[in-house]
Structure 1
C-alpha cells in the first residue's frame, strides 16, 4: 500500500476513534443540568399528565430535574418546531403523539419540520385511548341516540378538535354515520371539555387523561371508545365500532430528541425510561389516566413504528375525506 494511502487511512481511523471517544465522554458527563421535556399540549391534557408522571421518575433515575415545558398550539406544530431546532445535547426532549408525527403531514399542506428527518426516536411510551363524550345531561344515552339526533338536526351540532385524534375520529364518524356536524378548533383538551360541559359543543372525542375526571363527576357522558375492544378503565362503555362498523383508532405517545442526538444518550434515556415504565407505581398512575403502557424495546423499533404510523394515519385522513389546510 502506498505511503500516502496508509497515512490517509491512519488519519481517518484516528479521527473516527477521536470522535467516538468524544461522544462517549460527552454521554458520560450527561446530563450536566436540567432536562427540558417539551409537551405539545396544554397543562391538564392527557399527554401532559403522562409526561409529568414519567418526568418525575426519569429525573430521579438520571439524578437531575426533568421539567415539563408545555408549548401548546397549532396542532403540536409550535412544540415540534421548537424541538427540531434545539441543540441535540440531550437537554431538550419531546414527549409527543401521533398528532405531530403521524397526522400533521397529511393535515397541513406545509410544515416547518419533518417528523422523520428532524427528530431522533428514543422510545414509544404507550397508547392513550379516546372516548366520544357528550354533556352529562344530554338525552343521548347511546351513540345510536346521538347519531339519530344529529341526523334530525343537520348542521346544528358541533364537535371539538384540539388535536389530530379528535379531528380524524370525528370526521371518520361523520363520514361513516352520514351526519352533518361542524368542527370547532380548540387549543387544548381542557378548553374543549369546558365547552362540552357548558353546552356550547355537543360532541367531543376526548383523551381519557383529561376526560376521565369529568366522566366520574358525571359532567360528561361517554358514549363509545375509539379502540376496537372495550376498555377496563371504562366498563360498560362500548367501542364506537359497535355502532359504526370498522371504526378503530387510538393515539400513541412517544419520546424523541432533536435530530443528531448522540447514540449513547439515546440508549441511556431508552434504558432509564424502560425501567420507569416497568415500575408498578408508575403503571398504576398511568392506568388511572386510562393510559396503556406499551414501550418499544429499542430506539430502532420505535423508529420503524413511527414510519409505519405515518403511513397509517395518512391513509386514515385520506379516507376520512379531510383536505390539507
Structure 2
C-alpha cells in the first residue's frame, strides 16, 4: 500500500512538472544553454574525473546506445498511454509512428555527418614524429583499410543523440499530465514506465553536460545540437500539428480536456465531428477512423 501511494505521488509530481507550460515552452532553450555554456565548466572541473575518459562505463553502455534505451522505455510507456486513452489499435500505432519518424531522422543525420567527415577530411600516416599527410588521393574507406588515419570535420554524434533523445522524451512525457486529468486508467505498470522514462530524461541531461565539457571541439557540439533542435522543431512543432501527419503527443488529450471543461462547448478542429450525449461525467471515447468524439452517459 505504501509503495503504491509513493508511486502515485511521485508520478503525479513528475507529470505536473514535465507537463507544465514553462517546461514545454523553454526546455529546448535549457538544452541550448547546456551546449553553449557547458564547455566553460572545463576550466573548473578536474580533468581526471571518470567522465573525462571516453571509455567510462556510462559513455560505453548508455551514450552509445542512448536511442535504443529511449525507444525501449518511451515505446512501452507510449503504447500503454495511447491504447488506454483511445482503446484503438490504429490510434495507438499512429502515435507510435512518431518514434519511427525519430529513428529515421536519427539515421539520416548519422549518414549526413559521416558524409561531411568524408568530404572534408584527409588521410594521414602515423609516424614516430606524429601524423604525416599523404600526397596520394585516398577516400576514407581506402585510407582506413591501409591502416592510416582519416581526419575530417566530425560533428559530435553524442551531442546530437543526447539532445534529440532528450527533446523527444520531454515531448512524449508531457502527455501524462492531461491523461491523468482525464482520469484514464493509470495502473502501476504505466506509472512505473513513466518514472523510468523520466529518470532516463534526467540521465541524458547529465550525460549531455559531461559530453560537452570533455569531448569534441566547440563548433562540432554546436552544429550537432543545432541539427537535433531542427529535427525536433520540424516534427513536433510543425509537421505533427498538421492534418496529414502522426498526431502530436497531447493533441487528442487536450481536445478532450477542452470539450469537457465546465462552461465550454465542443470546439473540435475543422473537419472533425463531436457527438455528445452526456455531460462531463459521462464516458468519452475518440473514434479515430471517423474522427468523431463520442460522449455517452
Q: Is the TM value for this pair above 0.5?
A: no
Q: Which has the higher strand share?
A: 1
The alignment's TM-score, normalised by the length of structure 1, stands at 0.23
Structure exhibiting the larger radius of gyration computed from Cα positions? 2
Q: Which has the higher helix share?
A: 2
